[in-house]
Structure 1
Amino acid sequence: MAGYLTTHVLDTARGCPAKGIRIALYRVSGNSHKMIAESVTNDDGRTDNPILPSESFKPGTYELVFFAGDYLRATGQGEGDILFLDQVPIRFGISDADAHYHVPLLLSPHGMSTYRGS
């Protein structure tokens, strides 16, 4: 079985999935970042498909960038030019080529959290 990567975003301040957040996925090598995928969260705060499907999945270092500032402004949770959280990067490693990796973002205007989900 080939592995794959999924993600989702929950708005912990409003207690609901975060719809409409743009997410970019980068493969990282040293100081080099190469964007390999981009998606937007749906009504359930998830991407419609794995952000890194099995045919592209391989061990390495990756970074998800969540464009949270756009979402926070659109939902009335962020004002002004400078937000506490704007683009939220999460760098992580994939070591098992046959595993499902799930990297969610729990988001509020002044805090965030992540974990390796299932």
Structure 2
Amino acid sequence: MSFSTHVLDAVTGRPAAGMTVRLEHQGRTLAEGRTDEDGRIKGWQPGAGTYRVVFDTGGYLADTFYPEVVITFTVGDPAEHYHVPLLLSPYAYSTYRGS
């Protein structure tokens, strides 16, 4: 199983480069990194189970209602790729299971 994410800043219409993101499982941090110039993190390799991906939106946006966004998801088939995009603005966010 591989995991990736892509963060887009809905205000600027650009990738959210430099945002800190971490992947957690059962209360432990498995991976942590910063989004690249295209707003992406890829290559994390968790197995089956339930995970939390935590976006440090407060560290990226100077004035935001959501200081962090936490998305909990379940990996059912470790052979599949899991992509969790985040579309972000100071007062709203949206996510879905990407491809």
User: TM-score category by the smaller chain?
Assistant: over 0.9
More helix by share: 1
SS at match of 1:96: coil
| Residue aligning to 2:74 | 93
**RMSD value, Cα:** 1.0
| Residue aligning to 1:14 | 12
| Residue aligning to 2:22 | 24
- Counterpart residue identity of residue 26, structure 1: E
SS at match of 1:38: strand
Larger Cα-atom Rg: 1
C-alpha distance in structure 2 between counterparts of 1:15 and 1:58, whole Å: 33
Is 1:68 matched with 2:49?
Answer: no
Where does the alignment leave 5 or more consecutive residues of structure 1 unmatched?
none
The partner residue of 2:65 within 84, 93, 100 is 84
Where does the alignment leave 5 or more consecutive residues of structure 2 unmatched?
none
TM-score (norm 2): 0.95
In the TM superposition, what is the alpha-carbon distance from 1:70 to its structure 2 partner?
1.1
Is 1:46 matched with 2:40?
Answer: yes
Q: How many residues align?
A: 99
C-alpha distance in structure 2 between counterparts of 1:35 and 1:88, whole Å: 15
